[in-house]
Amino acid sequence: MTVANAQQAWRVAWLVWLAWLVLGLLCILPAVLPLSSLPLLSDWLPAISHHVLPEKARYSPISYWLLLTLVWQLQRLRPVAPGPFFSVAFRQDLLWYFATMGFRLLFLGTWAFAVVTVYTHYLSFLTLPGVAQWHPIAQFVLGVLLADFARWLSHLIRHKVPLFWAFHSVHHAQRDLNLFTDARVHPVDRMVSSLVTSLALLVTGNGVPAVILWMVIETLYPKFYHANVRIDLGPLRYLLVTPQSHRVHHGVEHRYHDCNFGFLFSVWDRVFGTQYPEHHIWPPTGIPDAEFPLEQAGDPVGLFRTLYRQLIYPFASLRRRA
């Protein structure tokens, strides 16, 4: 190895560890700040946490960091599509992650507070009677089931309705799935999905156990099944969404876009007939739209330029169809 190569390897290693440090420090903020900004919810966190989360797991980013490291290693050991890990696509999705973090810090707390306020004043009649008096763990389970079904249904709608698909297609455009692809979500798409999920949680009464669990699940589990890992989970695929089943959902062929809509549980797809039957296929991913601004340059300027183009893509797409 030449001196120049050694210096380059050292710089890359230093940047990778610096990125992990930043992620370890900041990864919990997108989940905690919006929640703590809601007066209606923040007073209940300590009590519900006592019932739901182990003492050492409460509000700690360490588990998130460890999961990222584990998935990173799985991508190296069992990749679906071997290639450079720190690819241009990975860097683009990493930028999406930090952009999404900023969006959550700036807007999502206010958006969630508005949803709770509107629900409290105008839709509280939808609240399931008596659920607020249930044991927190029972609320936890019911809230998760309702939220996951709502997520499945809203996901299906965002594929079927052209207006919603224009925004959701940004997420599907990634041809190089990785553990940060779950962050490649247009703000409009995120607000629609969060609205539906929030309503599903609110009908369970106070619903804070479900809010906490959903916060953890939305932060952790999608990173696993969006990753470039050749894992199917065996019999667990009949219960949970797997990297294989979700990769099929991201398949570039249109027939794959209309199946496997599950977020956590795969049972909704099986019950309603939207589960793709084959579980031994790993199709190429992306969307068949030559107009989509795929990432080309891996330098900071190129990444930010592509991010901007991907953000305005849905509006340009809708304009072309008009």
What is the pLDDT at residue 129?
A: 85
Does position 22 have pLDDT exceeding 60, yes or no?
no
> Is the distance from CB of 226 to CB of 246 less than 8 angstroms?
yes
Of all residues in the chain, the percent with pLDDT exceeding 70 is: 74
Where along the chain do its domains lie?
A: 26-321
The amino acid present at 49, given as its one-letter code, is S
> Is the distance from CB of 11 to CB of 4 less than 8 angstroms?
no
Mean pLDDT of 27-37: 39
> Is the distance from CB of 269 to CB of 248 less than 8 angstroms?
no
- What is d(CA 88, CA 312) in angstroms, rounded to the nearest whole number? 20
Could you report the per-residue pLDDT of 241-260, keeping only the tens digit for each? 999 999 999 999 988 988 99
Residue (of 17, 105, 20, 18) closest to 62 by Cα position: 20
Region for 273 from its dihedrals, namely left if φ exceeds 0, alpha if ψ lies in -120 to 50, beta otherwise = left
Tally Cβ neighbours within 10 Å of residue 79.
Answer: 15
Note the helical H segments in 104-238: 109-118, 136-160, 162-172, 187-202, 208-226
Q: Which of 11-20, 86-95, 127-136, 221-230 has the lowest mean pLDDT?
A: 11-20
> 11: helix, coil or strand?
helix
Could you report the per-residue pLDDT of 285-296, keeping only the tens digit for each? 999 998 999 988
> 103: helix, coil or strand?
helix
All residues at 6 or more sequence positions from 313 whose CB lies less than 8 Å from its CB, including other chains: 169, 170, 291, 292, 293
What is the pLDDT at residue 10?
A: 44
- What is d(CA 267, CA 265) in angstroms, rounded to the nearest whole number? 5
> Is the distance from CB of 155 to CB of 263 less than 8 angstroms?
yes
Of all residues in the chain, the percent with pLDDT exceeding 90 is: 39
Does position 219 have pLDDT exceeding 60, yes or no?
yes
Give me Rg for the CA atoms of the chain: 20
CA distances (Å), origin 94, targets 27, 82, 105, 184, 259: 12, 19, 17, 9, 27
Residue (of 56, 28, 44, 81) closest to 218 by Cα position: 28
- What is d(CA 273, CA 162) in angstroms, rounded to the nearest whole number? 22
